[in-house]
Amino acid sequence: MPSSRKTGASLLVIALLGAGGAADTVTLTNGHVIEADRAWFEGNEVRYEKNGGIYGVPKTMVVRVDSHSSPAASADPDVLKARERLAAQDPVEATRLSRVALGRDPESLPALQTLAEALLALGDGRAARDAALRAVRLDDRDPRTRALLGDAYAAMGDRAGAEEQYRRSLLLRPDPAVQRKLEDVAPAPARPAQGAQFRIRYDGGVNEPLGVAVLDVLTKAHAEYARRLGFRPEDPVVVLLMMETGIPEGRVPEWAAGVNDGTIRVPLRGLDRLTPRLTTVLRHELAHSFIAARTGGNCPTWLQEGVSQWLEGGDPNREDATVAALARDGKLPPLLTLEAPFQTLPPAEMATAYAESLSAIAHILRRSGPDGVVRLLAALGDRLPSEEALPTALALSYPEFQKSWEDYLRGAARPAARPLPGRLP
């Protein structure tokens, strides 16, 4: 190999290995940041590999884990040589060296990942898939392995299989490169014309000017929610304008029982123009449609209502003072008890349930920002039960999140409690 070419390949190998060596950081609740070769979630711990050792800290001590889809750390000389040959565009030798490493240790995750990558470079998607599947069986929560399995399926022409694996990889660890691959294989939703996201229907009369104003509010909110949630419903949303039903105050309306059946029901009796209250109702109900489409209905009611109240507008912390009083008195119902529809609750408890739902979302936003909400909805959309979706998206179990939230509420300032407002579902 000519000197310049050899030097270039060596520099590329150093860059690849250097990126893997400083790939992950673990930020603790005390502000300390741990730099690690690799970090991952395992049970109730965040485990990380550093300087040849593996360590663990409780998830309750971790604010976040920032990672990149880099090769698993390895000290095996054949794996390192295989990666060097890959960087030098020699996948044949990289394949041979990876298999030599696997001959010594058939359960070497770095060797299997490198073998899958080399086979992909050779254009052998089926063999790459088999290597990646072996790696998944060793560690099904490694995001790089999931991404490689997605690459293999994509090479085989299995777009659905590739999409599933890329989504699993992103759920474990965000990565812009994997996101771009997902966008390449995922079916592109039809791009409707402005306003075509909705199908407007009237019940009990027609008021075209008001219908146009309602559509304008919904169209703007649709674009906003798609941007904030990174998702848009594929199917148009049916909007039923009920000209003979009025907007209630402080109670659950009769028409709300089917609010998540795919139709937005808008009570308009006595209205001939938009009002702030009507705008809030529209934004709230459209948020329900987004959440239902994103999660396929696999969403606890408290999360549905909390996210919808957050998206409808206003300060997400606005219910904290009232909920804090319940927390200090030991009377705050656990979120697990608010998974079923709120219509099953006694009327006296419903306002508290809505306030608690928004306060819980405010705590997610404090801990994890809007991305925490997006990850949680994505996890539910992947059909994970809520008991698994919370630790996957927020690195906290239900009890751990409940405790963190209540601890915050008890320690917060004690502003005067306000009467609980009525909330639309």
Name the pLDDT band for 173 (thresholds 50, 70, 90).
confident
The total number of structural domains in the chain stands at 3
Residue type, 404: S
Same domain, 208 and 167: no
Q: What is the DSSP letter of 236?
A: P
Same domain, 134 and 236: no
Q: Whose structure tokens read 């390949």? A: 9
Which residue range forms the structural domain that includes residue 126? 77-185
- The values of phi and psi at residue 40, to 5°, are -155, 160
Structure tokens at 111: 């060797």
Region 249-263 average pLDDT: 45
Same domain, 307 and 253: no
Same domain, 179 and 210: no
Q: Angle between the 176-185 and 159-172 helix axes, to the nearest 10 degrees?
A: 160
Rounded-to-integer distance, Cα 74 and Cα 361, Å:
40
Same domain, 141 and 216: no
373 within some domain = yes
CATH number for the domain harbouring residue 231: 1.10.390.10
List, for residues 31-74, the tens digit of each pLDDT value. 777 777 766 666 566 666 666 556 667 777 777 766 554 555 66
Rounded-to-integer distance, Cα 416 and Cα 359, Å:
16
The SS3 assignment for 129 reads: helix
Q: E strand or H helix at 38, and its extent?
A: strand 38-42
Number of other CB atoms surrounding residue 79 within 10 Å: 28
List, for residues 277-336, the tens digit of each pLDDT value. 889 989 999 999 999 999 988 999 999 999 999 999 888 999 999 899 999 988 888 998
Alpha-carbon Rg for the chain in angstroms: 26
39 within some domain = no
List, for residues 80-132, the tens digit of each pLDDT value. 898 888 877 889 999 999 999 999 999 999 999 999 999 998 989 899 999 99
